[in-house]
């Protein structure tokens, strides 16, 4: 089936949900009339309705959800949409990036809200494909729940990678023109050879906040084309009575790509794995095509050169996942009538790779490179990530007039974030400025959280910070200056009412992940507890030291910090708030082993290894059920005492920590088993491994253990 035939026959199933993690969207635009879209209140606020973030988000969303009777015809207008804003505006009319931690929050929220596909037209330029541990955890959470992330490859015009597109479980998207040539600014790299494709990203007509339309180019806009196609293929699965399987659809898309035909002047690495082949993916999903062409084993056919050798690889796909709902068959379009014929003609040409003359490709490719260099259209937005002076995404989005011919303007801006950041993938940004209403509380259901981290605080605004500076005592003449933090804690101790004027935070690896806002009858006592956590963590005025705290509660809205970062707010449950350090837990275990002849240093090493692995190897945001169980296991000294008291006497060490859903659980509960496996390194081949397993119910705001610790040997 040809691409245009496929797209004319289906508009998407209402049970398939596509989450767009981008700027806010103007849902009053005529193209969204009757569209099934929900926009959540998330980690951005104060965004202008006509600002750059809203322009970017509205254009992206219209390419997917634009209705067939409106000015923009989206790829999958019948699917359900979920808009989760992550980008905001900067004062200089540029787009403010979001941190990898904020992106992790948004991804988890999308999965919790039932997304099958997550569109991320943004990323961070990285030296390796390794994301922040919390983002990596969120991406793995998607893979485990069969949710597909489709992410832009970036527009730096280099052999370089962007997170999250470079993560193997995502589907990375580069941009090409209607002739099948990669756009000059579209990134490429080794990781993209396995999980990346090129899709149309040149002069795509989309919506502008306020009711207008414009054309824009970039990997940002190629990405929603692919997200929409994935949603249509999932809808086909439902139509056929199968369960929608986003990751099987991803494999079908990757296996069916049109490969690059190398010749003089063409670099096939810039084509990633190949060009999007909608008809081929459709045939694989419907099991009509049993042979998939492999780019690496495909000889090329050039007119007058070598003959083409087609190597087939049999591949059967399994389609597993969530099944639901009715199916509709109305025709979608990808552009308004004024440009429809040219876009569809381009897709028809792209469906037949042999119809593109190689000599014409060479010529057009060189002409395009020369023209871009002459016009000097490669200005970039620069920024930093978590490492000092590390360069993040450089964007250069081409924003063209609605006639799709002239380039209107190039905007350059500076990104000053000192943390890992995400920016939108545009090739040269648009100068028109849209806006978004400020956000208060989330309209979605409250989400439980049991998070581990370190205590912190924030002022929220410069005025509030100055007020605190003026409130603390001045240094005494002739004596060494006292650190501000020491003065602040002294102020909070003598004037506890000041605690309510601070924003208390829970930091993970030095980055605020949550704000903590006590409410209710025990708010004063909770503020006092937060103060004690901070005092003990900073080791000020006391001989007590804590390394981490646990904060259980519910997510309720967001708040802006002094840095501009917006974080979710936890309403905490005081009865589950604890502060501790490893030495305390180790001392408890040693007391239980006083009658035994044990090596004290060995005990310390084993407990330290366990806790460090919970905190670092299993680092998470504490919002997913399995993560709340893991975090509770890392704070529960009772289970640790039982487990380590036994294994240390047998010279065993920790091998792995796992969580899995408990096969038996009480009604209306959410039970997870934490499983610890130990082995004797001196008798690895002759002594059985020891497994300890205990069940944790995380259905309540404060988790609780269920039953006794179970133990057995495995060989």
Q: Mind telling me the catalytic residues?
A: 22, 56, 220
Q: Is 9 left (phi over 0), alpha (psi -120 to 50) or beta?
A: alpha
Before 275, cis peptide (omega within 30)?
no
Cβ distance 183 to 210 under 8 Å?
Answer: no
Nearest to 121 by CA among 146, 75, 72, 84: 84
Separation between Cα atoms, residue 153 and residue 226, nearest integer Å: 12
Token pair for 611: 């806790």
State which H helix or E strand residue 359 sits in: helix 358-375
Q: How many helices (H) and strands (E) does the chain have?
A: 17, 29
Is 608 strand, coil or helix? helix
Nearest to 555 by CA among 456, 635, 624: 624
pLDDT of residue 42: 62
Cβ distance 422 to 152 under 8 Å?
Answer: no
Q: In CATH, which of 3.40.50.300, 3.30.300.210, 3.10.20.30, 3.40.50.200 is domain 3-424?
A: 3.40.50.200
pLDDT of residue 658: 85
pLDDT of residue 96: 79
Using the CB atoms, write b or e for 471-508: b if 16+ within 10 Å.
ebeeeeeeeeeeeeeebbbbbbbeeeebbeebbbbbbb
Token pair for 98: 């979001």
Is 350 strand, coil or helix? helix
pLDDT of residue 252: 95
Other Cβ atoms within 10 Å of 691 Cβ, number: 16
Cβ distance 242 to 327 under 8 Å?
Answer: no
Backbone angles phi, psi at 109, to 5 degrees: -60, -40
User: Where are the chain's structural domains?
Assistant: 3-424, 447-580, 593-714
Other Cβ atoms within 10 Å of 585 Cβ, number: 21
At CA 543, angle to CA 541 and CA 549, rounded to 5? 95
pLDDT of residue 264: 52
DSSP per residue over 92-103, as a string?
A: TSSEEPEEHHHH
DSSP per residue over 242-276, as a string?
A: PPP-HHHHHHHHHHTPBPP---TT--GGGGTT-B-
Using the CB atoms, write b or e for 628-637: b if 16+ within 10 Å.
bbbbbbbbbe
Which residues of the chain carry a pLDDT beneath 50? 289-346, 353-366, 368-369, 371-423, 426-445
Token pair for 641: 């005492």
Nearest to 39 by CA among 390, 439, 403: 439
What tens digit of pLDDT does each residue of 368-382 get? 445 444 443 322 222
Token pair for 663: 């096969």
Separation between Cα atoms, residue 11 and residue 330, nearest integer Å: 5
Separation between Cα atoms, residue 163 and residue 158, nearest integer Å: 15
Cβ distance 555 to 507 under 8 Å?
Answer: no
Token pair for 627: 């993560």
């Amino acid at each position: 089936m040809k691409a245009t035939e496929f797209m004319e026959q289906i508009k998407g199933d209402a049970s398939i949900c596509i989450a767009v993690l981008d700027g806010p969207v103007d849902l009053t635009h005529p193209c969204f009339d009757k569209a099934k879209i929900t926009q959540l209140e998330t980690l951005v606020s104060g965004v202008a309705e006509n600002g750059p973030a809203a322009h970017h988000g509205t254009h992206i969303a219209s390419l997917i959800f634009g209705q067939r009777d409106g000015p923009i015809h989206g790829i999958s207008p019948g699917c359900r949409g979920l808009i989760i804003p992550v980008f905001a505006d900067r004062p200089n009319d540029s787009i403010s990036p979001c941190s990898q931690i904020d992106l992790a929050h948004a991804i988890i929220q999308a999965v919790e809200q039932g997304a099958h596909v997550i569109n991320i037209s943004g990323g961070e330029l990285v030296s390796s494909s390794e994301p922040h541990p919390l983002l990596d955890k969120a991406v793995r959470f998607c893979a485990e729940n069969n949710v597909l992330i489709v992410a832009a490859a970036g527009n730096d015009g280099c052999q370089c990678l962007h997170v999250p597109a470079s993560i193997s479980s995502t589907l990375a998207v580069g941009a090409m023109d209607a002739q099948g040539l990669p756009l000059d600014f579209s990134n490429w790299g080794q990781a993209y050879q396995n999980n990346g494709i090129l899709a149309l990203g040149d002069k795509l007509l989309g919506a502008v906040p306020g009711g207008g339309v414009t054309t824009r180019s970039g990997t940002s806009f190629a990405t929603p084309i692919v997200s929409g196609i994935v949603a249509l293929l999932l809808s086909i699965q439902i139509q056929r009575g199968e369960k929608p399987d986003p990751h099987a659809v991803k494999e079908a898309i990757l296996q069916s790509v049109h490969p690059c035909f190398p010749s003089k002047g063409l670099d096939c690495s810039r084509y990633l794995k190949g060009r999007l082949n909608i008809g081929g993916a459709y045939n694989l999903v419907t099991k009509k095509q049993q042979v998939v062409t492999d780019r690496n084993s495909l000889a090329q056919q050039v007119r007058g050169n070598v003959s083409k050798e087609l190597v087939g690889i049999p591949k059967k796909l399994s389609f597993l996942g969530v099944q639901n709902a009715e199916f509709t068959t109305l025709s979608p379009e990808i552009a308004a009538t004024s440009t429809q014929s040219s876009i569809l003609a381009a897709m028809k040409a792209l469906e037949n790779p042999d119809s593109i003359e190689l000599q014409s490709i060479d010529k057009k490719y060189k002409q395009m490179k020369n023209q871009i260099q002459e016009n000097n259209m490669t200005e970039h937005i620069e920024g930093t990530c978590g490492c000092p002076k590390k360069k993040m995404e450089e964007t250069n989005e081409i924003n063209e007039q609605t006639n799709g011919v002239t380039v209107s303007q190039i905007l350059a801006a500076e990104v000053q974030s000192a943390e890992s950041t995400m920016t939108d993938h545009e090739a040269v940004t648009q100068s028109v400025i849209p806006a978004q209403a400020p956000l208060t509380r989330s309209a979605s259901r409250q989400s439980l959280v049991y998070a581990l981290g370190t205590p912190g605080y924030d002022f929220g605004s410069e005025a509030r910070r100055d007020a605190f500076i003026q409130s603390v005592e001045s240094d005494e003449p002739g004596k060494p200056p006292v650190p501000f933090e020491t003065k602040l804690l002294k102020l909070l101790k003598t004037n506890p009412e000041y605690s309510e004027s601070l924003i208390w935070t829970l930091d993970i690896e030095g980055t605020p992940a949550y704000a903590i806002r006590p409410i209710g009858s025990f708010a004063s006592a909770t503020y006092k507890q937060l103060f004690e956590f901070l005092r003990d963590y900073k080791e000020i005025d006391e001989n007590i030291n804590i390394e981490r705290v646990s904060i259980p509660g519910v997510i309720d809205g967001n708040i802006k910090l002094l840095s501009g970062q917006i974080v979710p707010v936890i309403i905490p449950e005081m009865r589950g708030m604890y502060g501790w350090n490893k030495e305390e837990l180790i001392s408890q275990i040693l007391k239980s082993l006083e009658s035994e002849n044990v090596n004290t240093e060995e005990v310390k090493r084993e407990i330290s290894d366990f806790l460090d692995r919970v905190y670092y190897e299993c680092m998470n945001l504490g919002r997913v059920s399995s993560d709340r169980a893991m975090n509770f296991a890392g704070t529960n000294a009772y289970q640790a005492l039982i487990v380590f008291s036994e294994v240390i006497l047998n010279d065993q060490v920790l091998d792995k920590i796992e969580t899995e859903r408990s096969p038996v659980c009480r009604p209306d509960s959410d039970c997870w088993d934490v499983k610890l496996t130990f082995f004797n390194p001196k008798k690895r081949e002759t002594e059985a491994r020891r497994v300890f397993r205990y069940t944790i119910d995380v259905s309540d705001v404060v988790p609780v253990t269920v039953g006794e610790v179970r133990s057995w040997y495995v060989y």
